[in-house]
């Protein structure tokens, strides 16, 4: 498998779980402390050595790349106040990766969103997919762990996460065959099965490394769960022909597409940040004691 340097990040969703807030702010720009969740996901991609990011966007939302563009007026003001460092993380992204967009004209599902980005990839190019509702505190970064496995075994690989039985219907679920401690061969995939029909408790938590061949399956797959073109369904057909690995990621994952997961991510990031950790720990203890 060739070296993977391009990542697709689909951000065309309307964020209905966070309405009315998402009427004003797209979900992917909700902050985790002081950074948009999308920036954290892009930083994960960059620290995993991704050089090109393809954002799949909705025509109903604004242009997300404006955030990464220089803002000369703001930079002038911050320079005068000696505070330009406040933008250094955004500047670092600009100098490390090329961010491009492609418009998904209709909300036809994750598989359709990924297929929309196909014309922007080089012929035969493998790529990564990062779903920005899934955020990781992991070292090495989650995508890096998958890329390392994929490079070592010369095979595509997807992240796995063990979830409680009552949560299987929220995820793509994998039937697996264990190869070693954290590595599995994917036998079959089902999108959001009922508890009674789930082949395991191994969920797909939003990180994938695949070869270009996946597009052949995405073009063929019929609408599945919710009448949408599901990435999981295309991966299921792909896994019948291409050996596909699953990897239980080291690290903590947050579902920031859910209100509790979003708050949990903010708390976890604040607890590990030296300027906020101690104060927050104290405040949370007092809050819980008053309950």
**Binds ligand G1P by CB under 6 A, chosen from 57, 110, 117, 209:** 110
Pairing of β 157-162 and β 207-210: antiparallel
Decide whether 50 or 229 has the Cβ nearer to ligand G1P: 229
36: contact with ligand G1P by CB under 6 A:
no
**Three-class secondary structure of residue 184 per DSSP:** strand
Q: How far is the CB of 226 from ligand G1P (least distance, A)?
A: 8
- What residue number has its CB nearest to ligand G1P? 172
* CA 72 – CA 87 distance, rounded (Å): 12
Query: Within 13 Å of residue 157, how many CA atoms lie on the same side as its CB?
Result: 25
Residues 6 or more apart whose CB falls under 8 angstroms from that of 39 comprise 67, 89, 90, 93
> Contacts with ligand G1P in 157-196 (CB under 6 A)?
171-172, 191
10: contact with ligand G1P by CB under 6 A:
no
* CA 159 – CA 125 distance, rounded (Å): 20
Q: Which stretch binds ligand G1P (CB under 6 A): 117-125, 200-208, 269-277, 279-287?
A: 200-208
Decide whether 5 or 29 has the Cβ nearer to ligand G1P: 29
Residue count, binding to ligand G1P (CB under 6 A): 14
Report which of 82, 125, 77, 126 is spatially closest to residue 244, judged by C-alpha positions.
Answer: 126
205: contact with ligand G1P by CB under 6 A:
yes
Footprint of ligand G1P (CB under 6 A): 110, 131, 133-134, 171-172, 191, 203-206, 230-232
């Amino acid at each position: 498998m060739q070296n993977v340097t391009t990542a697709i990040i689909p951000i065309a969703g309307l964020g209905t779980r966070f309405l009315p807030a998402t009427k004003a702010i797209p979900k992917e720009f909700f902050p985790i402390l002081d950074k948009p969740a999308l920036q954290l996901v892009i930083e994960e991609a960059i620290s995993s050595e991704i050089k090109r990011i393809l954002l799949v966007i909705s025509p109903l939302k604004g242009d997300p790349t404006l955030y990464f563009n220089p803002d000369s007026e703001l930079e002038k003001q911050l320079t005068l106040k000696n505070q330009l460092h406040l933008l250094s993380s955004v500047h670092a992204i600009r100098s490390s990766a090329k961010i491009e967009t492609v418009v998904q004209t209709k909300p036809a599902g994750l598989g359709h969103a990924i297929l929309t980005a196909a014309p922007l990839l080089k012929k035969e190019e493998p790529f990564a997919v990062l779903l920005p509702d899934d955020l990781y505190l992991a070292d090495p970064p989650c995508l890096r762990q998958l890329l390392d496995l994929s490079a070592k075994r010369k095979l595509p690989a997807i992240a796995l996460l063990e979830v409680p039985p009552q949560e299987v219907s929220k995820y793509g679920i994998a039937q697996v065959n264990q190869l070693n401690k954290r590595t599995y061969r994917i036998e079959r995939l089902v999108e959001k099965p009922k508890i009674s029909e789930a082949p395991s408790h191994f969920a797909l938590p939003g990180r994938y490394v695949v070869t270009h061949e996946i597009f052949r399956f995405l073009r063929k797959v019929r609408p599945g769960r919710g009448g949408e073109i599901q990435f999981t369904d295309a991966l299921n057909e792909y896994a019948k022909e291409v050996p596909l690995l699953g990897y239980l990621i080291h690290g903590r994952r947050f579902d920031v597409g859910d209100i509790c997961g979003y708050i949990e991510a903010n708390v976890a990031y604040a607890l590990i940040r030296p300027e906020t950790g101690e104060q927050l720990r104290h405040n949370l203890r007092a809050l819980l004691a008053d309950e």
